[in-house]
Chain A
């Protein structure tokens, strides 16, 4: 199964990043490729990819029991994004692992680009939120 990971550090405190990761309604602000989000329930929501207003993709969000790991899985394409946050004193380290099913392997390079951009944007948005 194709997979890749990315990591970055932001000056924002961990709670700032946590809020952004747990609030699907704000995904379009930083997650490249997501245009619209509709919340369907406590841990379920639907996204519409950029440029595909007629292509809803149901998602599932949950936190690993150990804490600090947020997994977001796409119920349509089986892509899984696992985000891990850690407090590094004066900022937050963000790591993301992406697993892509074999049938979607052709999306690997696109996903690498999208997630790198998203990670960068997440860091910037969290830092901006933290400022007074």
Chain B
């Protein structure tokens, strides 16, 4: 790599060794020019820049001389470091690092010994980089609560831009917040003198307000003044009081736009802050805000800034990084969380980590969470709001949602119905228009106390009790206008009275649709942006607060936006100010700029992010937008096919994939089919279809296909054959795959191959060999940081050991599965289920009960009915095994009312068994009958159901005191088991995999064991001789 230092002192280094520099000043300047202009440069352009005052021929001659000096200095390296042709010159290395571009911008001057005109613009760029870097550093330090550091950086910022009023205002505010009121007052005074001496002006009202705050020491943000809302404020305070005492609740503020919902939330937030509570207020934004979890990103971002860092045992802070890497980092957990391949599990991980953050946030003080404009909130944020809301009843949390009364929003209605159904106290406050006297107070505050009575009455009539309309109409009057017929007219009058840069700023703010950070405001390219900000704030339309510069109310933004006649140009300008960040937002603005191709690419990037956090509906939506804008990109159709697969929409998946195949180039079809095979192997779990896809991939392989693709196809085929094909082909396929793999394959590939070998052993019924195979494969998965694969392999090992009758070895493996997923509750749930069943089989019923209780708690936190019912099912079986028949019956009946990952007819029979053993003959008989209506698949092992029915009939007969009938049934069951005994031993491996494919779950209960069933029946029959009570005791 070629490294060039231009700031302060010129230096050059090639592959870590310093390069000598020419002594000639122009030759040194040439190095600087070429470093700042990478790639070949036209000689004429270079000469004109470095010898601007010479004629062209002389300048080109001077360039040759400087080049000669440079070549002499670099000697044998010159040909490597320089590109020289008759027309162009440049620095040759592709890997070029220049401190002024690639490093922290530092403090020195750019090429201080050079005094060329071309450097002015370069120095300005560096200057802006320094300002932007300082803005970021100040924001980060402030967010972390390091106010002294933030103040120090702000002071440096002021030194670099002495006339930047926003920078000075920020410094004053930070010093005040840091308790350095004297420093703040001194900074304010110095700035006022500077303005007076340099420009002959006085600081703006906003800066004077900051100065005043410094004098009073007020740290609380300025809040909107409320009129006519005393009753609502009192009601909210009462709700807060009850919540703060541990009776968590939800308040919904409903009303028309501008009626004062946001102001009430701000007022409540102010009072909560003043009383020592914690608060996080977020707002739904539907302009370019389709980003999944946008509202909770804002809320979580505010919470992590104020909470204590949790201890090292807490796994959830690292999990927060799934949502945004800055969240976990603020809690001392850098780096990405471990991967979970299934998007739905990713979503559950995000939900659980945010819920943990909320619980942590209210562990030392009561918490206010407010979602302003919930009707604008993205869908998955609303789901997360419900997820958190369901759990606050026993926590010191007040959750406030605001929404407009029209149009009705079914998603918000559903959320509230859900909360009420889960018995969370929900209070709805409908905000009525404020009284005329309150409207009059608003108007007098803005337009002055001496406003003409007739005019005042006209405003009162026009406002109809809407504070926002009253305020804006008053501003319009104060600005010299007349009574406006509506808000849009009033806003138009206010905007019209502003200087051009402020109007420009407000229009761009309206286009942005969200508050902008200082760096973004600067990047808008508005001349005199500081004054424009001040004017916008003083107009009352904008506020410059902790969340950035934005409109005071969404209605004001809508009014400004509605008046724009050049939205395309403005969106295009805003795109230029966006650097990185949210791809959905970028896509939104690119689309509105008419830049379809770029917008499509950004929508695809947004879809990838949405998929990574499990927001599948959003991912599908983004990809559909991409395919509308650019319908001929096959990759996006394939991505869409995969999203449909994850969403369970198999028909749509097939259609999208077929479209992808039509559009993708022929040399990419092998990869496309290979990816499809993987989807069918994992998401869809259709081994036959997966094999077909991999066979298609094999047909499209060519000499140009990569070795990775060749290996992936063969490994995919091996998986299909292992699970549902010719198991004898597995070793050959894996052997052929090895020819395409490096000598030392990566751990992920090793775990993949190891798992296939494990499945082959299972299919062959070679359960005794599975433990070691599982350990090898799972260890590779652990090294590859893939707990999502590792836990499945550990569980396969445990289940296989169970099938082999090695219960203690199985428990060891289940323990490892639990250990590997402790930080990932959605994966832990299944591991706890397996462990509980093994403990029950070993007679350790107390530990088993604890384990299923933990499983149920984890499952309930996910709000996923299938996981919760599966945990109830597991808990029911453990209770049945331990002799707690009432609990067993209750758990199983609840599970059977929904969906779960286990055999329904088997669970139904277990429930009937529990009821019979509890002595409830009628309920047991009814349960047995209902079992006959359950669908029966391969995984239900129907041949095992027949003898089990007979046994349950026997138990019911025992409970009814009909001993001879009981004996008949037990004998029938015994005969039935003996008939199937031989067949079952031959099909164990198939039954195992049927369980996996049909139920999506390994046979954690173990497979059917006829010998064990016969032993149980022998005990049942023996019990008949001893009397019915001995049956109860087994």
Contact = CB atoms under 8 A, between A and B. Distances in A.
Given A15-B949, A63-B937, A42 B932 contact: no
B356 interface: no
Given A41-B990, A64-B935, A65-B935, A22 B945 contact: yes
Size band of the interface chain A makes with B: 20 to 34
A50 interface: no
A61 B964 CA distance: 33
Contacts of B934: 67
In terms of DSSP, what is the predominant structure of the interface of chain B?
A: helix
Interface in B925-977: 928-929, 931-938, 941-943, 945-946, 949-950, 953, 962, 964-965, 968, 972, 976
B946 A23 contact: yes
A66 B935 contact: yes
B972 to A, nearest CB: 8
A102 interface: no
Contacts, number: 66
A85 B979 contact: no
A68 B935 CA distance: 7
B936 A39 contact: no
A68 B932 CA distance: 6
Nearest to B930: A87
A75 B432 CA distance: 73
B500 interface: no
B991 interface: yes
Contact of A43 (B933, B935, B938, B980): B938
Contacts of A14: 929, 932
Given A19-B950, A63-B935, A43 B942 contact: yes
Contact of A67 (B933, B979, B983): B933
A42 B949 contact: no
Contacts of B962: 132
A42 B994 contact: yes
B937 A18 contact: no
B1030 interface: no
A120 interface: no
Size band of the interface chain B makes with A: 20 to 34
B933 A23 contact: no
Contacts of A25: 979-980
B980 A19 contact: no
Interface in B557-576: none
A66 B942 CA distance: 16
A16 B980 CA distance: 19
Interface string A1-33: 000000000000111001100110100000000
A23 B976 contact: yes
Contact of A132 (B945, B950, B964): B964
Nearest to A25: B979
Nearest to B952: A15
B991 A42 contact: yes
Contacts of B946: 19, 22-23
Contacts of B705: none
Nearest to B933: A67
A8 B979 CA distance: 29
A42 B943 contact: yes
A94 B516 CA distance: 72
B933 A15 contact: no
Given A15-B949, A22-B936, A41-B987, A63 B929 contact: no
A15 B991 CA distance: 24
Contact of B931 (A15, A61, A65): A15
Contacts of A63: 935-937, 942
Nearest to B941: A42
Contacts of B964: 132
Nearest to B976: A23
A13 B936 contact: no
A6 B949 CA distance: 27
24 contacts: A14-B932, A15-B931, A15-B953, A19-B949, A22-B942, A25-B979, A39-B943, A39-B979, A39-B983, A41-B987, A42-B938, A42-B943, A42-B987, A42-B990, A42-B991, A42-B994, A43-B938, A43-B942, A63-B937, A65-B935, A67-B933, A68-B933, A85-B932, A132-B964
Interface of A: 13-15, 18-19, 22-23, 25, 39-43, 61-68, 85, 87, 129, 132
Given A18-B932, A42-B942, A63-B935, 6 more contacts: A15-B929, A15-B931, A39-B980, A41-B987, A42-B941, A42-B994
Interface of B: 928-929, 931-938, 941-943, 945-946, 949-950, 953, 962, 964-965, 968, 972, 976, 979-980, 983, 987, 990-991, 994
